[in-house]
Amino acid sequence: MFSLSIVQDVIRRAVATGALQPIETETTLLDDDGVRFIVRAVSSLARKNEARHAAVATDPLGDYDQDLFVTDLAPSHYMLLNKFYLLAGHVLLVTRRFERQERLLTIEDFAALITCLSEVDGLGFYNGGTEAGASQPRKHLQFVPLPLAPESSDEVPMERLIGSSPGLTFSHAFSRIAPQASAPVLHALYRELLYRCGISAVAAADGEFQSAPYNLLVRRNWMFVVPRSSACFESIPVNALGFAGSLFVPSQQDLERVRSVGPMQVLRTVAVRE
């Protein structure tokens, strides 16, 4: 069972016990190429990175703090709060059996995502590999309710352009989704979009792996894939949410750098060029 009220109950519990570490941000809206980007300056991102590096040899999504547990989604997946809490309602959809983040998504992964999308109008996203912004080795999708920021008039700012190929100057693939599409249908569409981006399946003893890093974004009515060339623009990390129009920067200095070059140029730099 998944609902925003359940997530809010778990958030209150996790904050009370100290298991959840909310990260303070200051939001700025930057207009670029017809998109009003949401850029958050994150004052404690360095603390997140320090904790991430300290946990390199561990599996924090498998050996998780029980206060971060939200619910079981299926025999294959469970839901956790994101320990470093940046967005309201941000949750992780984690594989119960260990699978590497570079493995291709399965029908079961999409079934878990559909469970969330059917209950809450939100955005599912996936960072396919470290060069696409992944920070944990265990496979996990992520999900956030919409809008991405109360300050923004757009639920997903980049939605204005991602369905219009002439609007983007980096490699990508986009498709509409039929209402109430099943997990097998979404999985087949995902594989098609990867193929259109030049990303193929690499067979290994423990499953099929991606041939290149990528980001995936999914709403109830569309799916979007972007192949990646690098994890960061200069010192600024970019994950899948960047291609939704939501960027996080470690400092005010980095915010000014994004303002100077433009958020769209940040995305062009970390994506694969057309």
Query: What would the pLDDT profile of 16-33 be if each residue is shown by its tens digit?
Result: 998 988 788 899 999 999
Residue 159, φ and ψ in degrees, nearest 5: -60, -25
User: Taking Cα atoms as reference points, which of 228, 261, 263 lies closest to residue 248?
Assistant: 263
Please give the single-letter amino acid code of residue 110.
F
User: In the structure, what pLDDT confidence band is assigned to residue 38 with cuts at 50, 70 and 90?
Assistant: very high
Give the homologous superfamily in CATH for domain 4-54+66-270: ATP adenylyltransferase (3.30.428.70)
Measured between alpha carbons, how far is 178 from 181 in angstroms, rounded to an integer?
A: 6
Question: For the chain, which residues make up each domain, given as ranges?
Answer: 4-54+66-270
Give the CA distances from residue 223 to residues 175, 185, 186, 187, 191, in Å, rounded to whole numbers and listed in that order: 5, 12, 9, 11, 11
User: Taking Cα atoms as reference points, which of 217, 239, 231 lies closest to residue 125?
Assistant: 217
pLDDT the model gives residue 53: 46
- Could you give the count of Cα atoms lying within 13 Å of 234 in the half-sphere of its Cβ? 13
pTM of the model: 0.94
pLDDT digits (tens, 9 = 90+) for 39-93: 999 865 445 454 444 444 489 999 999 999 999 998 999 999 998 888 989 999 9
pLDDT the model gives residue 62: 95
